[in-house]
Amino acid sequence: RNFYYITMLRDPVSRYLSEWKHVQRGATWKTSLHMCDGRSPTPDELPTCYEGDDWSGVTLQEFMDCSYNLANNRQVRMLADLSLVGCYNLTFMNESERNMILLQSAKNNLKNMAFFGLTEFQRKTQYLFERTFNLKFISPFTQLNVTRASNVDIGEDVRQRIEELNFLDVQLYEYAKDLFLQRFQYSKQEEHQKNRLKRREERRLLREQRAHQWPREAAAEVVVTEDYNSQV
C-alpha cells in the first residue's frame, strides 16, 4: 500500500520544555515498545529515569540531569533509522559516529517525506499542506504564541543547557527550517507564475472573442442601412 508520511517539527527548546511539563503532570511512555530490528531494548540499553509509576512533579533540573532521558534529541531519534547505529545499544559504535549517522539519517528521511511542517509557522504549514495534497482546510490555522512551554521562565544558562542536551535536534531544526522556507518560496513563485499564465490566457481569449464579435456587429449595421435606404 502507498502511504504518505508526514510530520511536524518544533523548536527544540520549546519542545523539550513542553515534554518536561507533560511528564511533570504524570505522563509516561510505558506502552511504547521502542521496537528496532524486531525487538525492544533491554533494561540495560534503555533504563528509566525514575522509580515508581511515573515521574510526576519532576523539576526541570532533575529532568535535565538524567543522561538517558529520551526527551533528549527526541526529534532526531524518531526520524532516524536506528538500525544504522545498532538501535539502543550504545556500545555498537562511538558516540560521535553514532550522532553523525543519526542526524544525517533524520535529515534524509525528513527530506524524502511527502510533507513536513513547523509548529512555529502554522499558516505557511497550512499553505504547503494544501498545495502538496490539493486540499483546502475549512478554516485557517491559528498561530498560538502562548503555550505551556512559553510560560516557563528560564535563564540563558538553562536555555543553553537545553540546547546542549538537544544539539542534534537543534541542527535538524535549522536544516528543516531552511528547507521548509525554500519549499514555501518555491510554491509561492509557482503559484504566481500559474496565475500570470492564467490571466494571460484569459486576456487572449477575451481579445479573440472581441475580434469575432466585431465583424458580426459591422455586418449587422450594413444590413440595417441598406434596408432603410431601400424603404425610403
- CA neighbours closer than 13 Å in the CB half-sphere of residue 72: 15
Q: What is the reported pLDDT for 69?
A: 97
d(CA 44, CA 204): 72
Average pLDDT of the segment spanning 186-212: 90
Average pLDDT of the segment spanning 45-50: 94
The rounded mean pLDDT for the chain is 91
Average pLDDT of the segment spanning 170-186: 98
Question: Concatenated DSSP letters for 153-209?
Answer: ---HHHHHHHHHHTHHHHHHHHHHHHHHHHHHHHHHHHHHHHHHHHHHHHHHHHHHH
Interior CA angle at 196 toward 190 and 197, to 5°?
A: 90
Residue 117: pLDDT above 90?
Answer: yes
Residue 72: pLDDT above 50?
Answer: yes
Interior CA angle at 72 toward 163 and 74, to 5°?
A: 110
How many Cβ atoms are within 10 Å of 144's Cβ, its own excluded?
Answer: 9
Which candidate, 151, 198, 181, places its Cα nearest to that of 18? 151
Give every CB contact of residue 110 below 8 A, 6+ residues apart in sequence. Answer: 7, 9, 79, 116, 172, 175, 176, 179
For residue 143, give the 3-state DSSP assignment: coil
Residue 224: pLDDT above 70?
Answer: no
- pLDDT range class, residue 2, cuts 50, 70, 90: confident
Q: Which three cell numbers stand for residue 169?
A: 535536534
Residue 228: pLDDT above 60?
Answer: no
Give every CB contact of residue 111 below 8 A, 6+ residues apart in sequence. Answer: 179
Average pLDDT of the segment spanning 94-98: 97
For residue 127, what is the enclosing H or E element?
helix 122-133
